[in-house]
Amino acid sequence: MKEFIIFGLKQARASVFAGSFFALLFLSNHIPLFGFYRYDFLFLSALAIQTVLYLTHLETKDEVKVIFLFHIIGFILELYKTNPAIGSWSYPEAGFFKIGTVPLYSGFMYAAVGSYISQAWKIFKLELTRLPRYVWSIVLGMCMYINFFTHHFLYDVRWILIAAVFVFYWKTKVTFFVIDKPRSMPLNLSFVLIAFFIWIAENISTYFGAWKYPDQIHTWNVVSSAKITSWFSMVIISFIIVAYLKHYKKDVLKNS
């Protein structure tokens, strides 16, 4: 029981940025914003949280760089997906800090995923065993990211890519420490679990109006479970980037 409680507390610690962001989504509907548009309030607040995490040394300089990269990757995807010709989802509210129809705060939703993976890696002292060559992980991640764009006019190969992930990481295990005893699980299982909980978070976010899918414009509906596959792909991309910082780069520096 003690280990389970500590596990929960450490998960909460790893989710400090994501949890703070969800709190902002809720509060932005219930507190005065002093003339700010809600989207702008979320953007400035997310920047403030990120600054506090860095100044209090909860995030390192390298981790901030990685999270900024997630922001850019996510924002480019947002610009494409919200284009009227695509219309996957929309941001119907007004805002000053926008590029096109996309508020700048949207990138922080992707950064929250990267922040969680990065923090969990550090807090639980994650170690990977039987990890395939990193260069092939990069190729796989790039294919998944490109498919987010191309599946609108070419064949959607996400299931082929997901199958490739399970084959590619079939023998890879992740070892973590809650207290002092090592625990392990298949890396593929961790991908599925993270994608599922992000989908839960997505339902909460859309309920609070962070963005809207076409079938949520007038009345909120549960986000399709098919979106779990999309988040699974994004988790892989996030993992590959964080793995470079926490695993591959570390090994390169150690052997140099």
For Cα atoms 250, 187, 123, give the angle at the middle one, nearest 5 degrees. Answer: 55
Whether pLDDT at 244 is above 80: no
In the block, tokens 């490109």 appear at 146
Burial of 13 from C-beta contacts in 10 A (0-12 / 13-18 / 19+): middle
91-141, pLDDT tens digit by residue? 988 899 999 889 999 988 888 888 888 899 889 998 888 888 888 888 999
Closest C-alpha among 76, 92, 78 to residue 37: 92
| Backbone φ/ψ region at 100: left (φ over 0), alpha (ψ -120 to 50), beta | left
Mode of pairing for the β-strands spanning 182-186 and 102-103: unpaired
CA distance 4 to 67: 28
pTM: 0.86
38-52, pLDDT tens digit by residue? 999 999 999 999 999
Mode of pairing for the β-strands spanning 102-103 and 127-129: unpaired
For Cα atoms 31, 26, 18, give the angle at the middle one, nearest 5 degrees. Answer: 130
Length of the chain measured in residues = 256
Mean pLDDT of 17-30: 85
